[in-house]
Amino acid sequence: MEAMGIIGFIFGLAGLSYATTAKNDIAKLKIEFEDFKASLEASDKSNKNNSSE
């Protein structure tokens, strides 16, 4: 019975580690996506200014 508890604990820690890693990766991707959107908007404004001249 104790062995099952130990195995469960190990799998629980592995799952927690995976979840925290995934959370950090998603946070980094969100930041990169927001930066990419901002750069696209800036280049779009730049292209509109150049085409109107």
Select from 51, 33, 48, 18 the least CA-distant residue to 10.
18
Say if residue 4's pLDDT is above 90: yes
Q: Which helix (H) or strand (E) holds 18?
A: helix 2-52
Tokens, residue 6? 């130990």
Say if residue 52's pLDDT is above 60: no
Q: Mind listing the pLDDT tens digit for each residue in 6-28? A: 999 999 999 999 999 999 999 99
Which pLDDT score, from 0 to 100, does residue 2 have? 93
**DSSP classification of residue 1:** -
In whole angstroms, give the CA distance from residue 26 to residue 39. Answer: 20
Which pLDDT score, from 0 to 100, does residue 1 have? 83
What's the longest Cα–Cα distance across the chain? 78
Mean pLDDT of 17-45: 94
